[in-house]
Chain A
């Protein structure tokens, strides 16, 4: 199986601070992967390098054999941790924008999901609550037929019911050939849907394992995380 994402000696420093140090990693196709680590462990840095928003200090990252750039942006659908929707836009405008930007965007799928949330195409984004905006953003990202979805903290800011909705959206739109990488520290909520987990701490890779392997040892991912990251 060709890896969809591969890191070789990936290192990123910000001045004297090492955000990532010597990460070696391979992620295969057709999986839901959890990128797990405490706050400040390097999760977002790793995702930002994969989306070409940051460049590595040394080492490299490859997506489907390519360096992050124009080619990879066509196949990677990215949900940043921040809200980037323009408040003056209507839902219809943002759908139009995604359609213009991404060849693989499926507007019917997006409209259908928005309808189910009772969000109208005429709604102005500034009238939506924070949680609803996050859902809209996720719907846009999941409506692309990408090969790799990079979701940075998709469930961080929302209530438990909305969390369930978001996880259902991820499962429901998941294409078995695509890989979904979810970064989060809310492990208990996501562990049911993960195939594979990656633990990182202080910029280092601590563990990369299938979830079944962890559970076959009679442990939950949440339990193992607490063991590994005991303060």
Chain B
């Protein structure tokens, strides 16, 4: 309800107006979300869930949908650097909220594997969209979730039949091209893994110019019995961009889900992972790395809900904050009354490298079952002085030692990515952030090659 005409409210009206005219609300779900959105107030610092995330500066900008024409100007060589060229994969490229079939490359599939962009899937397999859309994302009362529901433009539908394994990774490449205004691009993904199936999904977000775009993504995932999904999300947009993403997973018995969230880009990025352990013996591994510099704000959020017995979950989130960057972690473990024998762990570690960098962490536990093992930990600190001294005593310069240790700190999370090409791609990015003191890029690459060969 719009109660008062604050700056936020004005933004809220500004935000809705252009879309109401331009986007026809095609189905009941969008209409429902739109109604819910109108009932939800724009988040401010007074909301507990937004306590440390100030999005007030969005209020003074006018927001308009991203332009398809801008996307059409993109040439293949501009997209090329963002693909993992040494990795065979299904690639789906999205620019400004639109699917680009000519840049995408989906290898021929058997009937048991469906990989399609959302608008195509709506006509070819409407029943899948109908069954799962909005059923896994149960956040409720979340502004950006409703916003996505009301105005999503494109997305992907992945459906694996029982006992099928998708041999090569699926790469979703999202690109943005902004212009003078703040632009909006949004995606809605549905990933359904049948019993005993397995897949690897990589999502990367990049900007093709320096203009600001607000990206809003909601992904809904179901892992059926014994299914396994490896999911990596890399947020590497320019430092004028806004990113609001949420991944919602429903885990059935004995299924495995692993998520690695890497955030290096964006002016403001906020990522939610909601995992619901529905089945006995399901397992969920969440990793995250947020490395911010300049004035970046990075928000990592997790909710792991244990509703079944014998399920395990583990979370490791690491932050490296430099310059005036701010890193937030908000993790929740919820163990319901019947989820006995649960094992749930959560660890958030942060490294502050500069005087004005900030970290806020909220690792929460809510436990209603008695026969459980749950723990969480959080730390904020600097590089280990003893480790620094050790390296220096062996002739490594202070700056080099610092960058080596910072790199090592991040490595725990990077190592959770099972795809070598993606890891290598990230190493280079991280090298540019922390490793400059270390030596030339060539030295670094040869080091990595040795490392890679050694594996």
Q: Do A and B bind?
A: no
- List residues of chain B with CB under 8 Å of any chain A CB: none
